[in-house]
Amino acid sequence: MHTGFKSQCVPAYRLLTQDQIHHLHSAILDLLETVGVRVLYPEAVDMLAGAGSRVMPDHIVQIPGSVVETCIKSAPSAVMLYNRLGEEAMRLEGRRTCSGMGTDLTHTIDMESGRVRQSRLSDVVNAARVGDAMEHIDFIGSYALPYDSPVNLMYIDSFRTELGNSVKPIFYTAAGIQDIRVIHDMAAAVVGGKDALRNKPIHSHYVEPLTPLTHSTGAIQKLFSVQTTASRSTIPRA
């Protein structure tokens, strides 16, 4: 007999126990304070020093655990991303997970010939349209790094193409701070201006350090650029 009952149970997966998480967190705090990280951007070094970090030779900065804990407590408990229609698309909080696409593949298997070739802007188009149509894809990425775009416009062309082929939030990469500024202006233009983007951000920038424990000049410059923009509009960084 069909009762119309629909289960709302959602399976949960935990890789680590709470004790293991605490142990890992404590070990990271100890590493940051006693070993430190290499920071190659003077403005970032000055900022960390002003917050109480110790600056050592060879660009090493040792960050006290108390500084890290203060930063963690200052982070928002939730971050929202919206689609281009102004609808909430992603709520980043707690143990909530979101799924999406990656970026910057230099080579692609051609869908017609089956051969591996350099990625093209048409691959970004196809990926954006597929991601837009898939119910359980929460955000899109460029998928490809288009070699048929001018080198200095690869990331900008990718973002423009994603905007034109999907309404979902965009996870993007950039070559430098000029790319970030242009991409931000494009995002603001399609949602009705910078105030609208500030209230309902539609994109998230991906930036990362180098291993082992090195923060490069380029990565920090991009992070600072996004932060400067975020002072005027709330843009998440990944």
How far are the Cα atoms of 69, 84, 205, 224 from residue 72, in angstroms, in the given order? 5, 30, 20, 18
- The residue extents of the domains of the chain are 21-73, 77-230
Kindly state the tokens that stand for 165.
């082929």
Q: Which residue has the tokens 């200052």?
A: 74
Cα(90)–Cα(54) distance, rounded to whole angstroms? 38
Maximum CA extent, the chain: 74
Q: State the amino acid at position 204 in one-letter form.
A: S
Cα(150)–Cα(160) distance, rounded to whole angstroms? 14
Measure CA 51 to chain center.
25
Peptide bond into 212 cis (omega under 30): yes
pLDDT along the chain (238 residues), means of 10: 66 87 97 96 96 96 97 93 96 91 96 96 97 97 97 97 98 94 96 94 90 91 81 52
Cα(214)–Cα(191) distance, rounded to whole angstroms? 36
What pLDDT is stored for residue 233 in this prediction? Answer: 46
Q: Which residue has the tokens 């994603």?
A: 162
Cα(200)–Cα(88) distance, rounded to whole angstroms? 8
Strand 37-39 vs strand 54-55: parallel, antiparallel, or unpaired? unpaired
